[in-house]
Structure 1
Amino acid sequence: MADISDGIGTMIEGTMLARTTSHDTALPGAHAAAGPVACPNCSTVFTGNFCPECGQKAHLHRSLAAIGHDLLHAVLHLDGKLSHTLPLLIAKPGDLTRRFIAGERAKFVSPMSMFLFTVFAMFAVFQMVGVTAPTDFADGMIEGFTDDSPFQRNIQRQITTLEQERGALPAGSPRRTEIDSEVKTLNTILAEAKPEATSEKNTANADPTESWIESHVFEKWKKNPGLMIYKLQSNGYKFSWLLIPLSIPFLWLMFAWRPQFKAYDHAVFVTYSLSFMSLLFIVMSILSTVPGSMGWVIALFSIAAPLHLYKQLRYAYSLSRFSALWRFAVLLFSTQVVMMLFLLILALLGAF
Structure 2
Amino acid sequence: MSNQQVNCQNCEQPYQEGFRFCPHCGQKTNDDLTIGVLFYNTISNYFSFDARFLKSFLPLMFKPGHLAKEFIKGKRLLYLHPAQMYLFISVIFFFVISFSTRELVSQANTFNEKVVKGDIETKTVNTDSVEAVLDSIQLEKVLKPLKENQDKLGLKEDDLKIADSIIKSANNQPNNIKSISDFNKKKIDSMIDAGSDKELIYKEMGMTHDASFLERRFFANILNLMEGRGAGGMVQAFFDSIPIAMFFLMPLFAFILKIFYYNKGTYAHHLVFSFYFFSFLFTVFAILFAVNRFVYDIPDGIDWLIAISTYLYFLIALIKFYRQHWLLTWFKSGIITFIFTIFIIPTSFLLLLAFSFVFY
Q: TM tier, shorter chain?
A: 0.5 to 0.7
User: Of 299, 310, 319, which residue of structure 1 is paired with 2:315?
Assistant: 310
- Give the C-alpha shift of residue 277 in structure 1: 0.7
**What letter is aligned with 1:324?**
T
1:96 pairs with 2:67? yes
2:108 partner SS: coil
Q: Rg larger in 1 or in 2?
A: 2
CA distance in 1, matches of 2:7, 2:69: 40
CA distance in 1, matches of 2:254, 2:78: 25
1:326 pairs with 2:331? yes
Q: How has the CA–CA distance of structure 1 residues 100 and 292 changed in structure 2, closer, same or farther, with 3 Å as cutoff?
A: closer
Q: Judge conservation of contact 1:82–1:109 (CA < 8 Å) in 2.
A: yes
2:65 partner SS: helix
Q: Judge conservation of contact 2:68–2:276 (CA < 8 Å) in 1.
A: yes
- Give the C-alpha shift of residue 73 in structure 1: 6.2
Aligned to 2:108: 135
- Give per-residue Cα distances to partners, 1:212-233, cap 9 Å, x unaligned: 7986787677644442122101
**What letter is aligned with 2:236?**
Y
Q: How has the CA–CA distance of structure 1 residues 306 and 292 changed in structure 2, closer, same or farther, with 3 Å as cutoff?
A: closer
- Give the C-alpha shift of residue 75 in structure 1: 9.1
Aligned to 1:285: 289
- Give the C-alpha shift of residue 270 in structure 1: 1.0
Q: Judge conservation of contact 2:7–2:14 (CA < 8 Å) in 1.
A: yes
CA distance in 1, matches of 2:31, 2:125: 71
Matches within 5 A, 1:155-304: 161-162=175-176, 223=225, 224-256=230-262, 258=263, 260-289=264-293, 290-291=296-297, 293-303=299-309
1:288 partner SS: helix
1:66 partner SS: helix
1:93 partner SS: coil
Aligned to 1:59: 30
Q: How has the CA–CA distance of structure 1 residues 115 and 158 changed in structure 2, closer, same or farther, with 3 Å as cutoff?
A: farther
CA distance in 2, matches of 1:149, 1:275: 52
- Give per-residue Cα distances to partners, 1:11-60, cap 9 Å, x unaligned: xxxxxxxxxxxxxxxxxxxxxxx965433444433454444443333333
CA distance in 1, matches of 2:331, 2:102: 35
- Give the C-alpha shift of residue 135 in structure 1: 2.6
1:81 partner SS: helix
1:264 partner SS: helix
Q: Judge conservation of contact 1:236–1:346 (CA < 8 Å) in 2.
A: yes
Q: How has the CA–CA distance of structure 1 residues 44 and 255 changed in structure 2, closer, same or farther, with 3 Å as cutoff?
A: same
1:115 pairs with 2:86? yes
**What letter is aligned with 2:270?**
H
Q: Judge conservation of contact 1:242–1:342 (CA < 8 Å) in 2.
A: no
Q: How has the CA–CA distance of structure 1 residues 314 and 52 changed in structure 2, closer, same or farther, with 3 Å as cutoff?
A: farther
Aligned-residue RMSD, C-alpha: 4.1
Q: Judge conservation of contact 2:254–2:271 (CA < 8 Å) in 1.
A: yes
CA distance in 2, matches of 1:332, 1:122: 22
CA distance in 1, matches of 2:72, 2:272: 7
Name structure 2 gaps, 5 residues minimum. 117-123, 127-131, 134-170, 184-207
Name structure 1 gaps, 5 residues minimum. 1-33, 141-147, 164-182, 191-207
CA distance in 2, matches of 1:114, 1:88: 13
CA distance in 2, matches of 1:159, 1:43: 90
